Homo-oligomer: A and B are copies of this chain.
């Protein structure tokens, strides 16, 4: 009863999930078909929605499917990562129409200037809804400030107000793990609860609870990398002992591998058939599995999504995690939890950044 066009947004949200007929929309929203007719009419005349194909059904008049108009709005996604900055532009249906990359050898001031120029040029062609930025944590997403992430010195304490001025757009900032989790929603389901584990330089996570990002009271999200998996383990910089990040992350794998070869790099370790290296990776997988067990017992997600260079593409990880979960999990909670690998590809991070804009637009 509060927002002016709340149900219009709801209709758009459903259509965004998958094309629907007016009758199906009526059933999903609980509104009458008459109401849906009216809402759809105004959305069509605003240029946000259009009629698509007519589907074949068993009986009665065939439904006309409704779909988003790709050109209705565009969104800018900016991925600030350790290896550089990526920018993409997605249309209303999440199709990429533009991409650009700046390596981390380019100064951040230059990157910002060129981003401004790029977006100003694109504005002649596209109507933008806003821009989303993702960065490794910690970030202050409420005030839009990147704090002091490891290995990202050039962007320490960067405030997105500056970007907002340069691009002349509303800008949203979110931690990479949280944004990735939100983006996975499109593939897992709109109202599901699931956990995304991002294992690369560190061990992070984003938890989606009933379709919404789980946010901690203090604004940091669940810091799953600092869940202890061994109460007597090694002391961590965070104060706790036996933190998961010390057992499951690329640096920790490299640290172990360097006992055998002091100058080994990640791509070599990951691709090697050497049993000593494979064993190291298996240990990493087991540590990640213990994190999953704790997470399942406390959060009870329906799905756990693996993402990040440490585990991506490694069947090894999935298998180990599944077997340890089935062995250790509290029966009712553990059974039914699916372990899957992320389907977001190469540009997952920049996509998830642009997606933030649409989530805000469609979402509650």
Contact = CB atoms under 8 A, between A and B. Distances in A.
Nearest to A336: B218
A240 B293 contact: yes
A301 interface: yes
Interface residues of A, number: 48
Contacts of A333: 216, 218, 220, 223
A334 B226 CA distance: 12
Interface string A179-192: 00000000000001
5 contacts: A227-B298, A228-B290, A228-B328, A239-B327, A240-B328
Interface string A40-75: 000000000000000000000000000000000000
A222 interface: yes
Instruction: Please tell me how many copies of the chain the complex holds.
Output: 2
Contact of A229 (B209, B231, B302, B334): B231
A297 interface: yes
A230 B227 contact: no
Interface stretch (A1-9, A308-316, A354-362): A1-9
Nearest to A232: B230
Contacts of A241: 328
Contacts of A364: none
A214 interface: yes
A295 interface: yes
Interface string A218-253: 101111101111110000001111000000000000
